[in-house]
Structure 1
Amino acid sequence: CQWRYLLMCLSVGSVSLFLSPSNGLHSQSLLLDEERGRLLLGARDHIYLLDPDNLAESPTKVWYMYACLECANFIRVLHNYNRTHVYACGTGAFHPTCAFIEITGHKKDGVLKLLSNTEESGRLKCPFDPLQPFTSVLTDQYLYAGTSSDFLGKDTTFTRSLGPPPDQHYIRTDISEDYWINEARFIAAHPIADTYNPDDDKVYFFFREVSWEGNDKSILSRVARVCKNDVGGLRSLTNKWTTFLKARLVCSIPGPDGVDTHFDQLQDVFLLPTRDDKNPIVYAVFTTSSSIFRGSAVCVYSMADIRAVFNGPYAHKEGPDHRWVEYEGRIPYPRPGTCPSKTYDPRIRTTKDFPDEVVRFIRFHPLMYRSVYPLTGRPVFTRVKVDYTLTHIVVDRVLADDGQYEVMFLGTDVGSILKVVSITQENWSTEEVVLEELQVFQNPSPILSLEISSKQQQLYVGSREGLAQVSLSRCHLYGQACAECCLARDPYCAWDGHTCARYIPASKRRARRQDIKNGDPAMQCWDTEDSIVEEKILFGVQSNSTLLECIPKSQQARIRWYMQRPGSERREEVRFDDRVIHTERGLLIRSLHASDAGVYICVAQEHTHFTHTLLRVTLQVVTNGQLDRKAKPSDDSAGGLHHGTESRQRYKDYLRAMSSPFSSLEEYCDALWLDKRPLRVRGRGLGNGKWKHIQEMKKSRNRRHHRENPLFLKFIAYLYSVHR
């Protein structure tokens, strides 16, 4: 890939990167159009038209949207308006601006053209701040957006704008912090039909907000809805929603004493389609607001449960300083929150025909009394006591040999992606298995956007660093054996008799092996007893540290270490303490003893109690006595003198190498060569800066600072054992 448009494209294995070498892309908005085969990326000051099949190809066209020496225009809104036009909005250096873009040509020779005569203010359509949580959706040529109306982000509102003329009805939520929306952070918005009658179509949106219960302040997650045909009230709530209702989303772990652990801050929402368009499955990512307990969770909800809450009792609050209680008074007709439809009442054709008591009721009773709880009553996946939080989610439904599975791809605030599969066992309990944890970007930059293409079998990950394209199936990571492929439990992969490859349901291969539900290679693979065990020989120096590296390919494996001492056929399990530590990468011995010499066996125990040996390491310890051993006298005095001098010189070189600050043998040899050259030759041709650098290296060597580089120490120890 060539440098074009100040960008760099890389392709490494199953991951392609679209990077910026200077000030970052800030990939916050993605528009994936699988029907037309194009991917639009909204970034800093630019919109890029990319090939969704291969990001490694340079973008065909780049449109520079805004120029400012001190500020920037971060593209936050990208929506298909029709087959040839896209509606785009950006922060515009804290002056939001929107415009239409015309797209002509195919993806290989596509052209982006800004229609300058369509530029308009983006206020209430796009946030002022590029990092502020925000959501928007464009449906039926109307733009629904949840954002702030002011620079400080205090007045947050959910609005509708655009629309085909002459039906351009601008409408927003009421400015009422105590009842409607208070300091909201909008997450997602989706149009969902409730019935087969188009008059009942609604837009559901998800957000978190500050809630006051008397003097108690808390952050709660919400799901809200409005009717698409809402045009506001006639005398009250003019140009305001008259069908706005909201309910609390609960994601918590039940406690033993009835005290639940709540994940109360909503971060992202993904709707997984089903055969019924009216009932998608709602996946939501939550985090905790507590500074003591840090964790993330994924909860799953059904639209049937959400609708049941909106059809239930309303909440009532006497005043700003009171708490919400269940409303037990008379409910006016038609039921507040119902969409106007000729089917229900021919006299009510629009929301302007609502009786005044219906509008007054919805103004002070927008909250439902009951909350929405997850399908399983608890999260389906949690992450606690880790150094990252979950921020984004997309889900793919995968057909495997033993059933259908939902695979979750979870983005984090450190730039990594977790690949998790949900497995339902025979007793209807759910098991969540982490298949892979991939660090997409080199720098730990938070994930800003996440899109999935089931058609292309690709995942698109955006961050400040750039945009990455990751293949959904990365079967080559699971090794070259049937057992390793089976133990991975990845629905995308199966053993085809030769390698771990992509599983294709239509293919008919008798040698194909896959077991997602149990992951038991003993039932699927015939070569489990004949697997080849890797063997290594490792040298270590007494009182120094060494690492016996052993990383299983299966994410569910539990590693056990055994030791077999020299001259013994019995192996014993390694006991861990402050000196011998079990890490994710292997066995770390912080200070080697002479008694640590022996054969170390790394054994992986899987969830099915299937065990297999991964590695055998023979550890040889170079003791202090071997280092201090003197050369034996020789009959030939001259030869003995020469041999003794050579041994002493080699011993001095060995100690010098051990105390050197260099991380590789090449660096040490180069410095030694410079040190032994005559002073006149050493200074020739060297600038003052470089000569000063050499002098600093000599000073650091004379200080005898010891850098414990295991590979370097092992190599020096090996040389000493050979030449002694």
Structure 2
Amino acid sequence: MDQYSQIMFDVARDQIIIGARDTLYKMHLSKVELLEAVKWEATREKQLSCIYKGQDEGTCHNFIKILLTNGHEIFACGTNAFSPICSWRNIEDLSNVTQLLDGVAKCPYNPAASVTGILSQSSEYFFGGTTDFSSSDSLISKNINGVPLLRTKQYNSFWLNDPEFVGSFETTQFVYFLFRETAVEYLNCGKIVYSRIARVCKNDQGGHTMLRDNWTTFIKARLNCSVSGDYPFYYNEIQSAQYIPGENVVYAAFTTPANSIAGSAVCAFNMTAIDEAFNGPFKHQHDMDSAWTSHDVPHREHLECKPFRHSSLLETSRFQLMDNAVQATTLDPLHIANLERFTHIAIDVVHPHIHVIYVATEEGSIKKLTAIPHMKMACVVEIWQVTSNHRHSINNMQFLKKTNSIYATIEESLISIQADHCRRHSSKESCLNAMDPYCGWNELVDGCTTVPEGDSHHKYWKQLSLSCPVLDTPINGGKHISHLI
């Protein structure tokens, strides 16, 4: 089992918190120094009970699966030997537990489960994952003050069908969840996995009688990341995603199925396209033997978080899946990789017209891509091999603007990689041809540097209009990787 998994930045205090097996770590962001290591282990009684119920001893520990903050406290949840538990802790003293909570519907039992959680701006906790010992009950839930209030319908495949969650984010009115699941609309033809984005209203209070304790605003749509053509090639399985609030765009990494030839792609989806899908007709099946058809629903005020008559739930409760898929911002994926499987994605917005995309692969490498809007594609700028033997994959990966670095966890290690490697370019030609959005030629120091004083229009700093790198210019040096733990 993965030892180090969760990453949380506390920029205000210049620290990073890591969730691992049986332990929470706190470190300095700006220097290699361990500040605190707090043990959070399952009791021996819990471990023995877990083993007695048939679980492997290696899984009967407290694996941290949720690690969030509201600014002054952290909310952490662990599997606790298949008896999930959550805690609120003082962010300046992780050993100071202010509240312990039952972890059911907040954290999975199984450490191998794919889950997501988010603390909204109003301190409501939204969770997507499994919530039982056998991992058969998947849900999206909302908790306030530790009490589960709402959830998706239990054991209803039209709502959720064996989902694997990869992310979540909030906007002013909604919380969105990204996951892949067995496509219920395809079951008459066989079994296939599709990628989804689901949406719920933050102010959803559930139904009074119908849909009591269930969401009244839950809807979902397919995400389409495919190569265009008369017979499109689909990358059906989303693996990781990140929402960029200021740009209103979601970047996501997709792969082919595990039992097919390996292939990966990166697609972007803007919120306008997502809203268009959610404002459109629903997909509906009259009975199990019927074909799926498009169906318009007239009374849908509650789906837009507006006041509504509860009688309208009688109509809308039959519909969850949108008829139209969410289309990517480009006709084809921004980046395609054959014989590779992407596992994580992280984004840096250099400025509104240049986004840097980092994707981690199953073999432990990280690709640095530049998304150039006018080219409708992403160019490979660098590839970093961060594991020595290609056998250890990256458990988690995030980008932090303050330090301009990528942070990744690998087994029992946390590493940081500086995003810019301008100094490896010893000549002006090499520097400019690299097309690295972080680098330009500084005539004052006669070297390749980052933007001086944050001014990209500095008269002594030159950078070509970005396109894909020119590969025939030699370079020197390489990346700098710091092992923090």
Q: TM-score, normalised by structure 2?
A: 0.88
- State the shift of 1:416 in Å: 1.3
- State the shift of 1:379 in Å: 0.5
Quick check: which one's helix share is greater? 1
Residue number in structure 1 paired with 2:52: none
- 1:63 equivalent to 2:38? Answer yes
- 1:87 equivalent to 2:75? Answer yes
Residue from 38, 42, 47 that aligns with 2:19: 42
Residue number in structure 2 paired with 1:4: none
1:73-107 per-position Cα deviation (integer Å, ceiling 9, x unaligned)? 111111113x4321110011111111111233xxx
- 1:380 equivalent to 2:334? Answer yes
Mapping of 1:463-474 within 5 angstroms? 463-474=410-421
- State the shift of 1:314 in Å: 1.4
Q: Which amino acid aligns with 2:357?
A: M
Residue from 221, 242, 248 that aligns with 2:195: 221
- State the shift of 1:507 in Å: 7.1
Secondary structure of 1:170's counterpart equals: strand
Residue from 502, 508, 511 that aligns with 2:450: 502
Quick check: which one's strand share is greater? 2
- State the shift of 1:151 in Å: 2.2
Residue from 157, 163, 181 that aligns with 2:160: 181
Secondary structure of 1:183's counterpart equals: coil
- 1:366 equivalent to 2:315? Answer no
Contact map agreement 2:74 2:91 (CA 8 A) in 1: yes
What CA distance in whole angstroms lies between the structure 2 residues aligned with 1:127 and 1:323?
35
What CA distance in whole angstroms lies between the structure 2 residues aligned with 1:169 and 1:93?
22
Residue number in structure 1 paired with 2:64: 75
What CA distance in whole angstroms lies between the structure 2 residues aligned with 1:32 and 1:249?
29
- State the shift of 1:25 in Å: 6.7
- 1:190 equivalent to 2:169? Answer yes
Contact map agreement 2:407 2:415 (CA 8 A) in 1: yes
Q: Which amino acid aligns with 1:461?
A: A
Q: Which amino acid aligns with 1:449?
A: N
What CA distance in whole angstroms lies between the structure 2 residues aligned with 1:510 and 1:327?
59
Mapping of 1:195-214 within 5 angstroms? 201-212=173-184, 213=186, 214=188
Contact map agreement 1:435 1:489 (CA 8 A) in 2: yes
Q: How many residues align?
A: 455
- State the shift of 1:31 in Å: 1.1
Contact map agreement 2:158 2:320 (CA 8 A) in 1: yes
Q: Which amino acid aligns with 1:370?
A: N
Residue number in structure 1 paired with 2:277: 309
Mapping of 1:271-282 within 5 angstroms? 271-274=243-246, 280-282=248-250
Residue from 161, 172, 179 that aligns with 2:143: 161
What CA distance in whole angstroms lies between the structure 2 residues aligned with 1:320 and 1:286?
30
What CA distance in whole angstroms lies between the structure 2 residues aligned with 1:125 and 1:285?
26
Secondary structure of 1:340's counterpart equals: coil
Residue from 237, 240, 244 that aligns with 1:265: 237
Q: TM-score, normalised by structure 1?
A: 0.60
What CA distance in whole angstroms lies between the structure 2 residues aligned with 1:187 and 1:506?
36
Residue from 299, 311, 317 that aligns with 1:333: 299
- State the shift of 1:176 in Å: 4.7
Secondary structure of 2:313's counterpart equals: helix
- 1:287 equivalent to 2:255? Answer yes
What CA distance in whole angstroms lies between the structure 1 residues aligned with 2:268 and 2:456?
32
129-138 or 173-182: bigger deviation: 173-182
Residue number in structure 2 paired with 1:121: 102
- State the shift of 1:468 in Å: 0.7
Contact map agreement 1:86 1:103 (CA 8 A) in 2: yes
Distance 1:462 1:397, change over 3 A: same
- 1:493 equivalent to 2:439? Answer yes
1:96-122 per-position Cα deviation (integer Å, ceiling 9, x unaligned)? 111111233xxxxxx322427x32221
- 1:355 equivalent to 2:333? Answer no
Contact map agreement 1:77 1:90 (CA 8 A) in 2: yes
Distance 1:186 1:322, change over 3 A: farther
Residue number in structure 2 paired with 1:3: none
Residue number in structure 2 paired with 1:448: 395
Residue number in structure 1 paired with 2:345: 393
Residue from 51, 59, 84 that aligns with 1:96: 84
Mapping of 1:287-686 within 5 angstroms? 287-289=255-257, 291-328=259-296, 331-335=297-301, 337-341=303-307, 348=308, 354-356=309-311, 358-385=312-339, 388-399=340-351, 404-424=353-373, 428-444=374-390, 445-478=392-425, 480-497=426-443, 498-504=446-452, 505-506=454-455, 510-518=459-467, 556-557=470-471, 604=472
Q: Which amino acid aligns with 2:290?
A: H
Contact map agreement 1:244 1:362 (CA 8 A) in 2: no
What CA distance in whole angstroms lies between the structure 2 residues aligned with 1:135 and 1:154?
17
Distance 1:431 1:355, change over 3 A: closer
Contact map agreement 1:229 1:340 (CA 8 A) in 2: no
Distance 1:465 1:301, change over 3 A: same
Residue number in structure 2 paired with 1:667: none
Contact map agreement 1:172 1:239 (CA 8 A) in 2: yes
- State the shift of 1:32 in Å: 0.9
Q: Which amino acid aligns with 2:295?
A: Y
1:402-426 per-position Cα deviation (integer Å, ceiling 9, x unaligned)? x9411111111122111111234xx
- Bigger relative contact order (CA 8 A; separation at least 6): 2
Contact map agreement 2:424 2:475 (CA 8 A) in 1: no
Distance 1:176 1:366, change over 3 A: farther
What CA distance in whole angstroms lies between the structure 2 residues aligned with 1:172 and 1:246?
15
Cα RMSD (Å):
2.4
Contact map agreement 1:491 1:516 (CA 8 A) in 2: no
What CA distance in whole angstroms lies between the structure 1 residues aligned with 2:140 and 2:456?
49
Tell which structure's C-alpha radius of gyration is larger. 1
What CA distance in whole angstroms lies between the structure 1 residues aligned with 2:20 and 2:141?
24
Distance 1:141 1:247, change over 3 A: same
1:529-564 per-position Cα deviation (integer Å, ceiling 9, x unaligned)? xxxxxxxxxxxxxxxxxxxxxxxxxx652xxxxxxx
What CA distance in whole angstroms lies between the structure 2 residues aligned with 1:268 and 1:518?
26
What CA distance in whole angstroms lies between the structure 2 residues aligned with 1:259 and 1:135?
34
What CA distance in whole angstroms lies between the structure 1 residues aligned with 2:361 and 2:117?
22
Secondary structure of 1:35's counterpart equals: helix
Contact map agreement 2:8 2:16 (CA 8 A) in 1: yes
Secondary structure of 2:275's counterpart equals: helix
Distance 1:36 1:482, change over 3 A: same
1:2-58 per-position Cα deviation (integer Å, ceiling 9, x unaligned)? xxxxxxxxxxxxxxxxxxxxxx9722111112233221110111101111112x22x
Contact map agreement 2:129 2:165 (CA 8 A) in 1: yes
Q: Which amino acid aligns with 1:319?
A: D
